[in-house]
Amino acid sequence: MKRQQKVAWAFYDFATTPVAFAVNSMYLPLIIISQGGTNLLVGGLPLITGVVAAFWTPVVGNFIDFSEDSTRLRRGILFFSSLVASIAIVTMGISNSLFRIILAFGVMSTAIQTGWIGANSFLAAEAEEFKLGETSGFGILLGYLGGALGAGGSVIIETVVGRASALLFIAVFLMTFSIIPAVYLEDTSREQKLERNLVAGISRTLNEIRSNRSVAVFLIASILWGDAVSTIVTFASLIAVDILQIAATNATLFLAMALPGALLGAFFHGKLGDRIGLVKVLGLNLALWSVGIAAVLFGGGILPNPIVASIAGFALGGNLSISRAVYAKVIPDGMEGRLFGISAIFAFFGGTIGPLITGYVADIPGVGLQNALIVPLIFVLSSIPLIFFIKE
């Protein structure tokens, strides 16, 4: 695999990470609460938006695996999914209707997930050509640099012009840098295995999951740790304000403080995974998540904010890097698109149950968001024993 391909692939992370930082974790929860929404609605959004993606992305994966020209198809998927997501982000910025904002967010999430299938199935297809941990970490590293530039730029624009212009900036950022992988990505490692029957392709995928213990265990475990990670990301700005006692005007600054840790986490986890084993490092990462969530749950506002932000960023950057590398490692050759597509269903459950339950518990009188963090702590602790059943 040429270095040009590696860099082109990583630019999808560069383009999309500001969306996760600025839209998902920063602006959307604050918008919903300011318009009369509840913690339950914030926590339920992944459930609302994930339904379509859970059924749509496996179909996308099948088309990639069975395409006569997977390079052209992946390029098209990256370009058009970014275009749709950009339009949806602009819509969120100019709409005053909570329903329309949620609808636009659902379209944006589905489009980003579709592009993610195209980009990461390429990573798995080229798995034998390079070190997965290092390459996945490089993608996350470049992604968080993009997150720093995109989210940081949006904060400046919001301060000077307004939130609608800040979201427009994120949309333009996404569309501009998505063009790089859409133009330069090219399959180099193998020829496509053609199969025209979509139903048969999905059936073969399910059979592979049943017979491949590493794939099956990874997907089940990803539901559990995905719930924990998604919960923290979903409530990030509210945790900063309600638990860590940071002024709402400084919540974005707190999230920005996590960026250096995220960059270091992505690089460190990837390099260490290639050296001592990807699965071992994934287990260490989940242990770090357990300690971090417990610290916020029991320590609350007495914890130093820079330390909390740095550890959270380090754990998040590392999780995204190492979990993607592990999954790409255990996927059989020729099934990259389908299995990354089917993983969206597990990501759907792993990104919705925890935030939904946490939001529900947080809205119970006398409980609050801090005590509700027991939910993601239970989820991440439950995932750790399963890691030992995954074989690289």
Q: Does 84 score more than 90 pLDDT? A: yes
Q: What does the pLDDT read at residue 191?
A: 47
pLDDT tens-digit series, residues 28-45: 777 777 777 777 777 677
Amino acid at 325: A
**Predicted pLDDT at 317:** 81
Task: Kindly report the CATH number assigned to the domain that includes residue 243.
Answer: 1.20.1250.20
pLDDT of 173 reads 93
Question: DSSP letter at 239?
Answer: I
Provide the whole-model pTM: 0.64
Tens of pLDDT, residue by residue over 163-179, are 889 889 999 999 999 99
Beta-carbon count within 10 A of 299 CB? 14
- CA 198 – CA 62 distance, rounded (Å): 7
pLDDT higher than 80, residue 373: yes
For every residue of 123-176, DSSP letters joined together read HHHTGGGS-HHHHHHHHHHHHHHHHHHHHHHHHHHHHHT-HHHHHHHHHHHHHH
pLDDT bucket at 192, cuts 50 / 70 / 90: very low
Would you tell me how many other CB atoms lie within 10 Å of the CB of residue 266?
30
Domain count of the fold of the chain: 1
Q: Which domain holds residue 12?
A: 3-389
Q: 245 phi and psi, to 5 degrees?
A: 60, 40
The answer to whether 137 touches 321, Cβ cutoff 8 Å, is yes
What does the pLDDT look like over 281-324, one tens digit per residue? Answer: 999 999 999 998 998 888 876 767 777 878 888 888 888 788 87
Instruction: Answer for the pair 85, 126: CB distance below 8 angstroms, yes or no.
Output: no
Q: How far apart are CA 145 and CA 314, in angstroms?
A: 14
pLDDT at 357 over 80: yes
Percent of the chain with pLDDT over 90: 13
